[in-house]
Amino acid sequence: MPQAILALEDGRTFTGESFGATGTSVGEACFNTSMTGYQEVLTDPSYRGQIVAMTYPLIGNYGTNEADNESDIPHVRGFVVNELSTVASCYRNEKPLSEYLSDHNIIGIQRIDTRALTKHLRTRGAMRAALTTEAKSAEEAIEMAKNAAGMEGSDFVKEVSTEKGYHWDPDGTESGLWQIPNVSTGVSAERGPLPPVKHKIVAYDLGVKRNILRSLRQHGFDVEVVGARTSAKDVLAKNPDGVFFSNGPGDPSALDYVHSEMRELIGKKPIFAICLGHQVLAHALGGSTYKLKFGHRGGNQPVKDLRSGKVAITSQNHGFAVDPESLPAHVKVTHINLNDNSVEGIRHRNEPAFSVQYHPEAAPGPHDASYFFQEFSDLIDSTK
Amino acid sequence: MPKDTSIQKILLIGAGPIVIGQGCEFDYSGVQACKALQEEGYTVVLVNSNPATIMTDPEFAARTYIEPITPEVVEKIIIAEKPDALLPTLGGQTALNTAMSLVENGALEKHGVKLIGANAEAIEKGEDRLLFKEAMLKIGLDVPHSGVAHTMAEAEVIAKEIGTFPLIIRPAYTLGGSGGGIAYNREEFENIVTHGLDLSPVTEVLVEESLLGWKEYEMEVMRDHADNCVVICSIENFDPMGVHTGDSITVAPAQTLSDREYQIMRDASFAIIREIGVETGGSNIQFSTDPKTGRMIVIEMNPRVSRSSALASKATGFPIAKIAAKLAVGYTLDELPNDITKETPASFEPTIDYCVVKLPRFTFEKFPAADATLTTQMKAVGEAMAIGRTFKESMQKALRSLETGHSGFSFDGKDPIDVFDENGVLDEAKLEQRISIPTAERIYYLPIAMRAGWSIDRIFELCAIDRWFLANLQEIVTAGENLATLDLRRAKELGFSDVQIALARGTDQDTVRAERKAAGIIPTYRLVDTCAAEFEAATPYFYSTYGDEDESRPSDKRKIMILGGGPNRIGQGIEFDYCCVHAAFALKDLGFETIMVNSNPETVSTDYDTSDKLFFEPLTLEDVLNIYENEDCWGAIVQFGGQTPLNLAADLKRHGVNVIGTSPESIEKAEDREFFIGLLNKLDLKQAPGGTATSKEGAIEVASKIGFPVLVRPSFVLGGRAMMIVYNNEELAHYMDTAVEASPDRPVLVDRFLQDAIEIDVDCISDGETTVVGAIMEHIEQAGVHSGDSACVIPSFSLSDAMLAEITKAAKSLAKELEVIGLMNIQFAVQEGNLYVIEVNPRASRTVPFVSKTIGQPLAKYAAQVMSGERTLKEIGFTDEVIPPHIAVKEAVFPFAKFPGVDTTLSPEMKSTGEVMGIDSDLGLAYAKSQMASGAPLPTGGNLFVSVKDSDKEKVAPIAKQFHDLGFKIHTTAGTAKILKAAGVPITTLHKLHEGRRPTVIDMLKNGEITLIINTPSTDESGRLDGMHIRTTALTQRVPVISTMRGGDASLLAISSLQKGDFGVKPLQDFHE
């Protein structure tokens, strides 16, 4: 196996074995603490511009398959694992992870101390990094890291948002709930049935995950997906029952062109937003966001719903957060992260608009928070 | 929700004696619960019959009842203590069943006691197969095709419906799946169903579709009053379905589930805990998945903390039992802090960045007649856990933690050789069989197949162990084949031990160690932090791996390392962990930093709260030295953890470890025959005549000199491993050929067997100046039964004051001569007024906790204090033997019910897994309570069957007479009848079994007409077989068997005390006022 180097801008380097593609890639190094779901992580457009390290040390165990993709291609700039499995053991496996990454030209590195890396990022903060099989020396790799663009102020949405609008899953073949066979109930392994369409909405694609679209459809939404630069006027012209803003990569403050359109839509249409969309809502309402030291990335983050007092274990992937101090009085914080008390959900007190920082659609991660989609449906009902 | 202030006093039921399926994990959970509830200001009333537990130390509860865990006794305690609530979910199946009985008989309602932690309905729904299945179907989950039968006929109807063999049979409400099995044909089906119906207290078995070869998973789930649910840990079984999870190699977290599958399992777990109605606390839910289709079946749930939850706690650092106790009194998960991070709440799911492997530890060598195939009935007696960054590293560490002589996964010169013929040619058919049948040894055959070039697919077809596991093992084998030249760091990353590397390089482990250290290849210690390093962790719980950074942060305090006992086995169990825990507490109090090293996840010693630093590591020379050097310890304690650390003592000392307390030389010397004889001569003490032998011929020569019967045993063992009484040359030759590997270093001891002697155990403590006898324990059974298997009594009840004084003097002089600092155990035999020394062990013994609880003095704590050199016994204030005014009886508990067909006769080889204590002011009642607690309560009347060997016939007559006087009807067979008639005992004579005429005692037993048996093993063949049949039938019918004459005397005392009226209950705190 050829050697690969992961170099951080502050001079720390990790030398390991290369897998997947070869070459050089730069981005922001971050870590994800999910023990399962590496394929969903790879293909989540929110990871655009990032070199992702998995804290769970054994990765690739169950291979990859088409059904678990959250978008057409992997978006990470590089993938860092402690040990890549030599075998993909699962009836669902279609392609081993290494081959999948090679096919998509993603550089991987294994046999580095990912815990040491995690601790480094935890104490020093997420930072620029280079993952390379080409650098002749550690110093050269560090230079590559230093020359990378930082995450703050970066607009990666433009790289991942759809160019052309499209109608999500018009014939309902993609969105049914993924199921396992159940002899007692007679359920086969095919996707589950869908409810009839109840609401037609427009979804801003800031880097949308497929499971968000599937979840929307599962809750009776017919979804027309539009690009990030779609104007409010165009959206209103379609007269949807509601507007949705998706997750996505990069710094929410760099997205003025989305803030302004969302501001136009608030009060005119019920709005629901997830992740980057949530941060955009904060901006659109006059609030601001800040960069977290090393972000929340994983599937075990406890979030308290301040309305019910209930705690959900949530799937998260965000490097920025909404500043609660910045929010105007008419915006209420509805959810907080119990680990660091950061804002995880907000709601407009007077207008039908709410958002959530984490991922109710899961994929990967727990399903505890899927109630948000129903809340959106109820919200639309209540405003009709 | 804050805590419940409507309750102040909580009754906690422990799990009772250690048995297969219910080990010391419940001491761990019980201790956590007691601490948690006391911390919240509740008054804790505890009942547990097991004196070897930490939880029954008086400081862990306000009122500690060491009394039998039966509904009757617990009701007495309720009446005495008037608790507000009963918490039944932390004491295993014993506590749950007892609590359910108290619900069913109305006692809880009558006395106004609220059940907390789980309600009766939920317990029933979770435990009753039929209700559980209905509940699963109701929430849309998949279950195996099955049916519940209460009779053989019902079982047959169900079998017909399912249509194909194999079929799984699971009896309801039994421990560790006891009585269950897999039937491949009709005959097996009938046998297992019959046995299962017998064993089930509700005469109920489940017959179900076989999922053999499917994957098996466990989820450890918690729920609070506010309906917040979290998964603490997922576990994947290495062994596929068909092997009880307690007998399976298990791995955490689950390795081969994609996120979608995992989340479906997680959702199902929450749906189940909600539907069953477990309002608060932890539950364990088992699933199985079809590796071909992903179909997921719910197997079962335990609505309580379990062995798996203890494992999950150790695997993740999340203290399930502690949190469960706090949830039971009303807290919600988000109100409780995560102990490890301190800053984040308990309402999260641990994420780990390492791989945990648990291996079961078996003791089939103790039960050669038992079927060693692993099935749905648990047979393991202990377990070892290891943590590493990869499965490969963890597996190799776990294998060397298991202490079965292996130093890792193969490459240690210990591969089994029985699949090769004398020319070294592999017998493929035999190897296929070894791999396809699940046994304790299967793991050791896998590398042979891999080295022979068998493909992973071929191996998979045989054993259905997931290919991911097999591929990882294959990588170890591939690397191992080049171990001689493999990069040293890479070898260590793969988990290879110095011993394996040395073997490959033709050198010794010291050389490898030196080279490794010179190259800077030393382990890094990592925190078990519940969060994969996302947050800073506060709790010092570590494992080793070969990585970039060490996180152990050694302090500059004076540190003492305490070596634990490793996996539990027969002869080395919870008693030694008890001593290690006490050492940690005592040394902490003296200002030392305590460093605990152990590999047993069931223990209190591996609770990160017990010591200042916990290292979850194998107890091998390499691993222990690494920690000692990394921490720069001041000293190490080896005499508390049983034989495991003792075996390391000399090597540790050679490497510069300061072994504190009695020197390793003294410990070794006590085992040295020559030295020992000299020592006894010097002290004018007697020993049974004997000698040592390193060969068959030598043994026969010794025996001919001293005369048969002789007691033979290897040196350096605990638990009487391979210890036997042999009566002639033939038996002796057979023993030397098969039972032991004698060598000049490890000779076999051959001693005259002292017949009909009274055996005495003495625990004492010395600081080098003062020696104090902890207790002189008089055994109920005569010498010849292993001391761990005998009932024993404090204080002695039949010895003269002069003899007691002689014993005390002998103990003190032995302590002085052996320069004991710390604990010492001596076994004596008294025969015809003469005192013989059987054995001296200058270390902690199995009886230390029993003695400590009886006399109200923590011997192990004192021992640790004197060993540290910081305190003398005078300074502690313990200078005189305490003769308690009350009487305590320790009784052994056996696993025979798990090993059908194994003879229940007691011998010098230890077979018990646990112990109970009966305590009272009356000897008869103390003994009666001990029998009650051991699960074999003595009857107060009915039919007594007497059949003894010839040499006991004279002695049994007066015993039988007294039973008659107590109102028993005596039944016997011809031989014994003659003597009894002559002695004037009215009897009924039954046919002997081998005569073929009916009815026999077996018929009466099966009809429930016999209440008690006195039987001693006959020496002739037909009598021996009859006796075995009677004893095993009695076992399944739960009829107590008295197997010694002295046991008969004790039972008479007990029964006559029971007949006099009701007995009382009294907490330890009142005994030691």
Q: Tokens representing B1045?
A: 């004459």
Q: For residue B123, what are its two tokens?
A: 């317990």
Q: Which one of B226, B261, B347 has the shortest CB-CB distance to A338?
A: B347
B691-700, B725-734, B837-846, B1018-1027: lowest mean pLDDT where?
A: B1018-1027
Q: What is the pLDDT of residue B862?
A: 98
- pLDDT of B671: 79
pLDDT exceeds cutoff 90 at B626: yes
| Minimal-distance CA residue of chain A relative to B215 | A90
Q: How much is the pLDDT for B12?
A: 98
pLDDT of residue B879: 97
Q: Residue B52's closest CA among B890, B688, B611, B983?
A: B890
Contacts of A57 in chain B (CB under 8 A): 353-355, 389-390
Q: What is the pLDDT of residue A186?
A: 87
**Residues of chain B contacting residue A96, judged by C-beta atoms under 8 Å apart:** none
Mean pLDDT computed over B596-619: 97
Residue B521 to residue B600: CA distance in whole angstroms: 26
Per-residue confidence at A154, pLDDT binned at 50, 70, 90? confident
Q: Taking CB atoms and an 8 Å limit, are B349 and A311 in contact across chains? A: no
CA distance A13 to chain B (A): 11
Question: Closest residue of B to A185, CA-based?
Answer: B140
* One-letter amino acid for residue A315 of the chain: S
Residue of B nearest to A293 (CA): B534
Statement: residue A162 has pLDDT above 90: yes
Residues 116-155 of A with CB under 8 A from B: 116, 118-119, 122
Cβ contact (<8 Å) for B263 and A366? yes
A57/B353 CB distance under 8 A:
yes
- Report how far residue B1068's alpha carbon sits from residue B57's, in angstroms, rounded to the nearest whole number: 9
Output the pLDDT for position B1037.
Answer: 84
pLDDT of residue B380: 96
Is it the case that residue B1023 has pLDDT exceeding 80? no
The alpha carbon of residue B393 is apart from the nearest alpha carbon of chain A, in Å, by 12
Distance between CA atoms of residues B661 and B867, nearest Å? 4
What value does the mean pLDDT take over residues B34-55?
97
| Residue A36 to residue B259, Cβ atoms within 8 A | yes
- pLDDT(A149) > 70: yes
The reply to whether residue A33 touches residue B475, judged by beta carbons under 8 angstroms, is no
The pLDDT, as a whole number, for residue B341 is 80
Quick one: average pLDDT of A185-204? 92
Q: pLDDT tens-digit profile of A163-187?
A: 999 999 999 999 999 999 998 898 8
pLDDT at site B716:
64
- The CA distances from residue B481 to A59, B410, B452, B477, B504, in Å, are 25, 10, 12, 6, 9
Strands B355-361 and B250-252: antiparallel
Residues B1016, B907: Cα–Cα separation, whole Å: 12
Q: Which A-chain residues 191-220 have CB contacts (< 8 A) with chain B?
A: none
Structure ipTM over 0.85, yes or no = yes
Smallest Cα–Cα separation from B688: which of B672, B667, B673, B668?
B673
**Contact B390/A364, CB-based, under 8 Å?**
no
With beta carbons under 8 A apart, name residues in chain B contacting A36: 254, 257-259, 262
Cα separation, B202 vs B262, in Å, equals: 35
**What average pLDDT does the segment B286-297 reach?**
95
Cβ atoms of residues B492 and B546 within 8 Å: yes
* pTM metric for this prediction: 0.95
Instruction: Using pLDDT thresholds of 50, 70 and 90, give the confidence band for residue B951.
Output: confident
Q: Is A115 in contact with B549 (Cβ distance < 8 A)? A: yes
Mean pLDDT across chain B, nearest whole number?
93
- Contact residues, B window 518-547, toward A, CB-based 8 Å cutoff: 526, 531-536, 547
Residue B591 has pLDDT above 90, yes or no: yes
Cis peptide before A252 (omega within 30 of 0): no
| A1 interface with B at CB cutoff 8 Å | no
Determine whether A361 is an active site residue. Answer: yes
CATH class in words for A3-146 = alpha beta
Report how far residue B26's alpha carbon sits from residue B1069's, in angstroms, rounded to the nearest whole number: 22
Distance to chain B for A180, nearest Cα, Å? 6
Q: What is the pLDDT of residue B998?
A: 84
Q: What is the mean pLDDT of residues B934-941?
A: 95
Q: What is the mean pLDDT of residues A321-342?
A: 97
Q: What pLDDT, on the 0 to 100 scale, is given for residue B1064?
A: 96
Contact criterion met (CB < 8 Å) for A363 and B259:
yes
Higher pLDDT among residues B1028 and A216, named by residue: A216
Among A120, A275, A278, A344, the active-site one is A275
With CB atoms and an 8 Å threshold, state whether B259 touches A82.
no
Confidence grade of residue B742 (pLDDT, cut at 50, 70, 90): low
pLDDT tens digits along B761-814: 999 999 999 999 999 999 999 888 899 999 999 999 999 999 999 999 999 999
Instruction: Give CA–CA dist B1017/B712, Å, rounded.
Output: 19
B389 touches chain A (CB under 8 A): yes
* CATH 3.40.50.880 is right for the domain spanning A157-383: yes
pLDDT in tens, B111-157: 999 999 989 999 999 988 789 999 999 999 999 888 899 999 999 99
Using pLDDT thresholds of 50, 70 and 90, give the confidence band for residue B477: very high
- Write out pLDDT tens, residues B955-972: 999 999 999 999 999 999
Tens-digit pLDDT profile for residues B678-722:
999 999 999 988 888 888 888 999 999 998 889 888 876 656 667
A366/B266 CB distance under 8 A: yes
The model's pLDDT over B193-214, given as tens digits with 9 standing for 90+, comes to 999 998 887 899 989 888 989 9
User: Which amino acid is located at A139 in the chain?
Assistant: E
Does B359 score more than 80 pLDDT?
yes
What pLDDT does B727 receive? 86
User: What per-residue confidence (pLDDT) applies to B718?
Assistant: 56
Instruction: Establish whether A359 is a catalytic residue.
Output: yes
Distance, CA of B304 to CA of B116 (rounded, Å): 11
Q: What is the helix (H) or strand (E) element at residue A26, kind and residue range?
A: strand A24-32
Q: B343 to chain A: which residues are within 8 Å by CB?
A: 339
Q: What does the pLDDT read at residue B743?
A: 66
- Which SS3 state, helix, strand or coil, does residue A297 take? strand
* Chain B residues whose beta carbon lies within 8 Å of the beta carbon of residue A82: 353, 389-390
Residue with tokens 């037993």: B1005
Residues B196/B264, Cβ–Cβ less than 8 Å? no
Which residues in B lie closer than 8 A to residue A309 (C-beta atoms)? 226
Write the pLDDT tens digit of every residue in A293-331: 999 999 999 999 999 999 999 999 999 999 999 999 999
Angle at B961 between CA B957 and CA B965, to 5 degrees: 170
B698, B708, B738 from B729: Cα distances, Å: 12, 9, 14
Query: Which residues partner with B773 through β-bridges?
Result: B764
- Nearest-CB residue to A313 (from B256, B261, B348): B348
**In this complex, which of A83, A113, A339 lies closest to B390 when CB atoms are compared?**
A83
B160 lies within 8 A of chain A by CB: no
CA-CA-CA-CA torsion sign (B462, B463, B466, B468): negative
Query: What mean pLDDT is reported for chain A?
Result: 96
Residue of A nearest to B268 (CA): A367
Residue B741 is predicted with a pLDDT of 67
DSSP summary character for residue B59: G
**Interface contact B741, partner A, CB < 8 A:** no
Compute the average pLDDT of residues A273-289.
97
**pLDDT number for residue B720:** 62
- Burial track B437-453 (b if 16+ CB lie within 10 A, e otherwise): ebbbebbbbbbbbbbee
> DSSP assignment, residue B869?
T
In this predicted structure, what is the pLDDT of residue A183?
A: 86
What is the helix (H) or strand (E) element at residue A209, kind and residue range?
Answer: none
Over residues A198-213, the pLDDT tens digits come to: 999 999 999 999 999 9
pLDDT for B338 equals 86
Beta strand B85-87 with B114-115 is: parallel
pLDDT at B567: 97
Residues B353, A299: C-beta atoms closer than 8 Å? no
Question: What pLDDT does residue B744 have?
Answer: 67
Contact (CB, 8 A) for B171 and B178: yes
Q: Do B348 and A114 touch (CB under 8 A)?
A: no
Report H helices in B317-366: 320-328
A186 → chain B, closest CA residue = B142
d(CA B441, CA B437): 10
CA distance A211 to chain B (A): 12
Residues from chain B that touch A298, judged by Cβ atoms under 8 A, are: 351, 532, 534
Kindly list the domain boundaries of chain A, sorted by start residue. Answer: 3-146, 157-383
